[in-house]
Every structure is written in structure tokens, then in C-alpha cells.
Amino acid sequence: MHRKQREQGKDVTRDEVLEKEIKQHKPIKGHVIVRCIGLLTARILCPHSRRLSDHWATTTVGAVPAGTFGRYIPKARFGRIMQNLHFSDNSDAKADTDRAWKVRPVVEIMQRTFLAGYNVPPVLAFD
């Protein structure tokens, strides 16, 4: 964007362009992040071999019903949130040894939460 404005002859700094772009976007609130994680979890539970963007299709694509994710969050907003969502420090020493180090904090919190909310009975059957 900065380069495009410079080519048009406008005298703007990179910081001015970034500040203007930031002001154009709505702030991201906690419940929206939870919604994004919920949609990712839904994708894990109902995967398909095509693109993630198929969940926002206006017509049915394979086993994915039309407008599935679009009811909860627009595709562009989901993409921007996922681009900027980080749960761990990139300079962490565990990055070399733990393949799941980027999502480990989220997984640990989910495991604690599920353990606190669900008591496994002594006999559990899967059909």
C-alpha cells in the first residue's frame, strides 16, 4: 500500500499508511477469538480435502453445507484474525524439540478445562 501511494506521487510515510490501515479495522474482542477457535475445532471434527474457504461458499461444496461459517464471522475477518493470532513466543527454546510448541499452550488449557468440566465414568463404551 505504501509503495502504491508513493508511485501515485503522494508523500506519505510507511507509519502513516500502517496507522491508517489499523484504524480501518474493528478491534478484535475476546468472544471473536473464541468464535474463530470454535470454527477451527468444527473444521477438525468435520474435515474435507478441499480449501478452508469452502466453508464460506454460498452453495454446497461436497459435504460442507452452504454458508456454514459465514453465519458466525466474515471470511476476511477470520483471515485477518488468524494471521495475527499467536499463542507462543517464536524465540522459545522448545521450538527445536517440540513439534506442537506453537499450539501447546492452547491444548494444555483445553485439556484442563475439559477435565474440570467432564468426569469420566468408570465404564465408558464407544459404539
3-state secondary structure 21-37: HHHHCCCCCHHHHHHHH
List the chain pLDDT tens, one digit each, 127 residues.
Answer: 445 655 556 677 878 877 877 777 778 888 998 899 888 888 877 776 678 888 888 877 666 677 778 889 999 889 888 888 877 777 878 778 887 887 888 888 888 888 888 777 788 777 6
CB 54 within 8 A of CB 102: no
Parse the chain into domains and list their residue ranges: 2-85, 88-118
pTM attached to this predicted model: 0.57
